[in-house]
Amino acid sequence: MATAAKIDPMHQFMIAPVGSDQLAASPFQFTNSALWMLVVLGVIVVFMWGGLKRQLVPGRWQAAVEVLTGFADNITRESIGPAGRKYLPWVFTAFTFILVSNWIGAMPFAIVPGAHPFTVTGQFSVTWTMSVISFVIVLAVGFWKHGLHFFSLFVPKGAPLPIKIFIAPIEFVSFMVRPFSLGLRPFVAMFAGHILLDVFGNFIVQGLNAGSAMGGFIAALCFVFIVMMSALELLIGAIQAYVFALLTAIYINDAENLH
Amino acid sequence: MDLASAQVIGAGIAAIGIGAASAGVGTVFGSYLQGALRNPGAAAGERIWMFVGFAAAELLGLIAFTVAMIILYAR
């Protein structure tokens, strides 16, 4: 029996210039990450433009676009209230970008040799940047609207003084952790999911290469598992995009409607 | 024990936390479903808080995963 090749699930997250497999020597390179970000942007732009005909009776495409925009509008309206409309552009942008890049990263483009899909949100730098933008919006709105009174966010209202002194540092830490936790969530969901898919995809290949009946059985088992995991991955991608948009809206609500 | 095997064992121990988080996520969705079946009228308004609770419970599992990855791949 041949020794099984070493499984390297981290290789799919490597950022390299397009057409090469080596790390870039210069920081100014057109990498696969940039390429797939442009693909995500293209998909979003084509999808939105197709539905922006402003027909009185929407066709199927326009109805689909209206469902998407209405969904993001609902998030801001329910969490922030009527003042939430001016934050809709960022909430909608974050939601669509995370959703589309999660889904495009899970698409099996690799059946065309050489076309490896790259999950843009599988990089912490991307999701971290988005969560920092959300955090900066919260800080800017809070200090712009309430000035230094914004610090009362850390003090629970109506609590006795000893509890206030105790709670305020905890609230402060939990506030400062927000950009970290917000960015970690979509990143790890995609990262862990793709590692899992990669490992079990390798099990299929190794099971078939083993050539025995047992190997074939295990490969079939892993194939069924990977199909179900892919469906779960699409669900997780949608939930993570929704959670990011929802938490952004809730954090902005803290700053917009200070208690 | 050399460093490599200690790393693998440590990463495996850190992964236990993911199981705890899965219990938390199950509790969040299960409790929401219980409440929603008892009072379907109030279910729609509480869906946001279900997802916030899901995010908080899930985050702890993700942190456990991150710790496992750091232990496994740190040099």
Predicted confidence at residue A224, as pLDDT, reads: 94
Interface probe for A, chosen from B46, B59, B72 (most Cβ of A below 10 Å), is B59
Average pLDDT over residues A212-235: 91
Question: How many Å apart are CA A195 and CA A199, to the nearest integer?
Answer: 6
CB-based contact B65 A250, cutoff 8 Å: no
Residue A31 forms beta bridges with which residues? A17
For A168-185, the DSSP string reads: HHHHHHHHHTHHHHHHHH
User: What's at B22, amino acid-wise?
Assistant: S
Is the model's pLDDT at A115 over the cut of 80? Answer: no
Which residues in chain B are contacts of A71 at CB distance < 8 A?
none
Q: How many domains does chain B have?
A: 1
Which residues in chain B are contacts of A79 at CB distance < 8 A?
48
Rounded to two decimals, the pTM is 0.87
Predicted confidence at residue A4, as pLDDT, reads: 53
| A247: nearest CB among B55, B62, B63 | B55
In this structure, how many other beta carbons lie within 10 angstroms of the beta carbon of residue B55?
A: 23
pLDDT in tens, B7-61: 999 999 998 989 999 999 999 999 999 999 999 888 888 888 898 899 888 888 8
- Distance (Å) from the alpha carbon of B11 to chain A's nearest alpha carbon: 14
Contact between A151 and A209 (Cβ < 8 Å): no
> Whose structure tokens read 């988005």?
A130
Q: Is B52 on the interface with A (CB under 8 A)?
A: yes
- Identify the contact set of chain A against chain B, taking CB-CB distances under 8 A: 10, 78-79, 181, 184-185, 188-189, 192, 239, 242-243, 246-247, 250
Question: For all residues of chain A together, what is the average pLDDT?
Answer: 87
- CATH number of the CATH domain containing B56: 1.20.20.10
User: What's at A76, amino acid-wise?
Assistant: T
Is the model's pLDDT at A19 over the cut of 60? Answer: yes
First to last CA, chain B: 16
Contact between A125 and A140 (Cβ < 8 Å): no
Range of the domain at B40: 3-73
Average pLDDT over residues A96-117: 85
pLDDT band at A140 (very low <50, low <70, confident <90, very high): very high
Chain B residue at shortest CA distance from A240: B55
pLDDT in tens, A163-209: 888 889 999 999 999 999 999 999 998 988 888 888 888 889 888 88
Interface probe for B, chosen from A80, A121, A123, A188 (most Cβ of B below 10 Å), is A188
Q: Residues of A44-61 as b/e, b for ≥16 C-beta within 10 angstroms? A: beebeeebeeeeeeeeee
Predicted confidence at residue A2, as pLDDT, reads: 45
Is the model's pLDDT at A1 over the cut of 50? Answer: no
